[in-house]
Amino acid sequence: SQTIHQWPATLVQPVGSPLSLECTVEGTSNPNLYWYRQAAGRGLQLLFYSVGIGQISSEVPQNLSASRPQDRQFILSSKKLLLSDSGFYLCAWTTGTNQYFGAGTRLSVL
């Protein structure tokens, strides 16, 4: 069966520090992969999606970037975190009709 791993679960980082969140999918190949952010009191906002290795589409201009170095690995990064980057980050994947989500990473930038 397919599973999605996302880590770390919780992260506290100072303003200006770098960020790297990783997401991996098991049990499937060539999935579409997504990063969403859920800010306090808001819904989910699609940040990036990828349809293949090295292919990244950005939905919202921001302080973040994404990379897909392997078929089932999706990484969210930042060189310098801002206070506004705080939120709950969710990785998701799909190979067809359903979209499945990881457990999320709660990022607090202080």
Mark the segment that binds another protein (CB under 8 A) among 12-20, 61-69, 72-80, 90-98. Answer: 90-98
Using CB under 8 A, which of 25, 90, 107, 109 touches another protein? 90
Report how far apart, in Å, the C-alpha atoms of 104 and of each of 16, 54, 87, 93 are.
22, 23, 10, 13
Using CB under 8 A, which of 104, 107, 108, 109 touches another protein? 104
Verify binding: residue 96, another protein, rule CB under 8 A: yes
Query: In the window 60-89, what residues touch another protein (CB under 8 A)?
Result: none
Token look-up 């930042």 returns 78
**How far, in Å, CA of 29 to CA of 25, rounded?**
9
Taking the complex as a whole, the smallest distance from the CB of residue 80 to another protein amounts, in Å, to 26
Q: What single string gives the DSSP state of each residue in 48-83?
A: EEEEETTEEEESS-SS-EEEEEETTEEEEEESS--G
Which spans of this chain sit near another protein (rule: CB under 8 A)?
Answer: 6, 32, 34, 36, 41-46, 49, 51, 57, 59, 90, 92, 94, 96-104, 106
